[in-house]
Structure 1
Amino acid sequence: MLRRERVEELLGGGVRVERVADLGASHSWTLHRVVLSDGRAVFVKAASDQAGVFAAEAAGLRWLADGGGPAAEVLAADDHMLILPWLPSRTQGADAAERFGRELAAMHTASPAPAAYGAPWEGFIADLPLDNTPTVGEWPRWYAERRLEPFLRRARRSLTAADVRLVERVIEEIDVLAGPPEPPARVHGDLWSGNILWPGGRCVLIDPAAHAGHRETDLAMLELFGAPHLDRIIAAYDEAAPLAEGRRERVALHQLHPLLVHVALFGEGYRARMLDGVRAALAGAG
């Protein structure tokens, strides 16, 4: 439930809440459009207690912005509320998509690069925890141990023993499937098209599961549920920061974690698609 007085306290400066429009709920929180006495409109996520979740989202947005990413500005956050500017999204053209591809490439390759995979904050995707323990080493083992194995455990109740074994094969063969080494990059971590707003001629990123990871992960997530002008986005990205050979064959590997997340959250409805992804990932080694 949204507490008007808390919005006013967090924003400070004597601002008052004039109007609130309830926009429904998502996962464990409610969503609101709030008009303020100074004429601004803001977007508010509110929950009775989301200790860590909103803090992680706020930290991720600020960290992506520090790397030059087009991330939404965090106006305020605490355990019960996250406040962002209200950003009405419009249909974007090819020029805006190409600009996004270049900006995403710049964010992924920003200097100084992260020193380790993970992040210095507790992670979440939706309201499920992510193990962001900073880890120096190679990405394939990090991905297997911090992303695939934990979410395979969460998804098991919707999978057969044969399904589990198939995912375990990916984990066992991860070093072969992962392709050439990549240094840690600032990634959004949940970059489906619904987490990209287009308030003008450029995009704004919201709802990250941000961490230092593999840059192909964000591109694969864009492809998982589709994005307008996707070919133009990826072409502009590849021109700005060329991708390693064989990226197409690795898309399914990078999509496996979000698909396991969907099975964990929503059950058997995503099982078939996840298994198609597992088979495609294994075929990528051929």
Structure 2
Amino acid sequence: MREVRALGAQHAWALERALLADGRTVFVKQASRPLGDVFASEAAGLRWLGEAGPAAEVVAVSPDLLVLAWVDEERPGAEAAEAFGRALAVMHRAGAGAFGAPWPGFIADLPMDNSPEGSWPEWYWSRRLEPYLRRAADAGSLGRADVALLERVRDRLPELAGPAEPPSRIHGDCWSGNVLWSGGSAVLIDPAAHGGHRETDLAMLALFGAPHQDRIIGAYREEWPLAAGWRERVPLHQLNPLLVHVCLFGASYRDGLLTAARAALDAA
């Protein structure tokens, strides 16, 4: 690589823009400490999503380096949002063999258990809620009453989850910062990809807001209609990213987590 330009740092890696000898511009993540399978997992997820959807191209990967094709970003417009909504629905509908994935998962640099287990409500609790709930409680970011509130969600998950759906091919961390607007649509980066519930990606887009969100959802629903009650289930699907944020950043996200848990319980 030549003409490397630093772009800052995030979690346990430095970010760079570089020019390769063959003239290609690339985006580079360079590990600042041993990361195990973190980059291999991200690369596997991007390639899997890219089979059916708008994911960034993986150029190279090693335990301490991830290189992606550079994405020239542009200002998002309503037409691009609609194109992305349709593309997201197509990617979701490509499906997955089970809830989970055949590679070890990570969200940021936190481990994410991708082992399959039963129905989506069972899998969501055991793989996406309970591990981070225990981690946050052990760190002192959540108290006993907080844990008890989330356990009430656990007890009612089969009721709260809505109609059963087959596993969808989801990004898993689909907040607006992981959606790069380019080429009249969008490109997905930084996935925690797995077979999951498609409403999870849509709830994540809503968590911190996305440009032209109504246009994204409208086009998505035209391509693949959502089950009745999906809006009321948004807080349920936001519990995982909010728990992850409590684990990563501490109790500042506690109130948002508890608000979402109460809203999920009240929705049924």
Normalization by structure 1: what TM-score? 0.91
Corresponding position: 1:276 with 2:245: no
> 1:24: how far off?
1.2
| 2:172–2:192 contact (8 Å) kept in structure 1 | yes
> 1:161: how far off?
1.2
> 1:37: how far off?
2.9
Counterpart CA distance in 2 for 1:115 and 1:29 is 31
With CA pairs under 8 Å and 6+ residues apart, which has the higher RCO, 1 or 2? Answer: 2
Corresponding position: 1:119 with 2:101: yes
Aligned to 1:154: 135
One-letter code aligned to 2:216: I
Structure 2: stretches of 5+ with no match in the other structure: none
Aligned to 2:11: 27
> 1:277: how far off?
0.6
Counterpart CA distance in 2 for 1:37 and 1:109 is 38
Partner SS, residue 233 of structure 1: helix
> 1:41: how far off?
1.2
Partner SS, residue 154 of structure 1: helix
Aligned to 2:34: 49
| 2:116–2:123 contact (8 Å) kept in structure 1 | no
Counterpart CA distance in 2 for 1:268 and 1:133 is 28
> 1:65: how far off?
1.1
Moved more, 197-206 or 35-44: 35-44
Structure 1: stretches of 5+ with no match in the other structure: 1-16
Partner SS, residue 75 of structure 1: strand
Equivalent pairs: percent with the same residue?
63
Counterpart CA distance in 1 for 2:177 and 2:148 is 32
Corresponding position: 1:18 with 2:2: yes
Counterpart CA distance in 2 for 1:233 and 1:198 is 12
Counterpart CA distance in 2 for 1:284 and 1:159 is 23
Aligned to 1:138: 119
One-letter code aligned to 1:138: S
> 1:30: how far off?
0.7
Q: State the Cα deviation string for residues 106-133 of structure 1 (Å, max 9, x = none).
A: 01112xx322110000000000000001
Report 1:1-286 matches (<5 A). 17-47=1-31, 48-66=33-51, 68-110=52-94, 113-135=95-117, 137-156=118-137, 157-285=140-268
Normalization by structure 2: what TM-score? 0.97
One-letter code aligned to 2:28: V
Q: State the Cα deviation string for residues 198-231 of structure 1 (Å, max 9, x = none).
A: 1221211000000000000000000000000000
Aligned to 1:4: none
> 1:38: how far off?
2.8
Cα-Cα RMSD: 0.9
Counterpart CA distance in 1 for 2:142 and 2:64 is 34
Counterpart CA distance in 2 for 1:281 and 1:231 is 21
> 1:90: how far off?
1.4
> 1:89: how far off?
1.7
Counterpart CA distance in 1 for 2:241 and 2:157 is 16
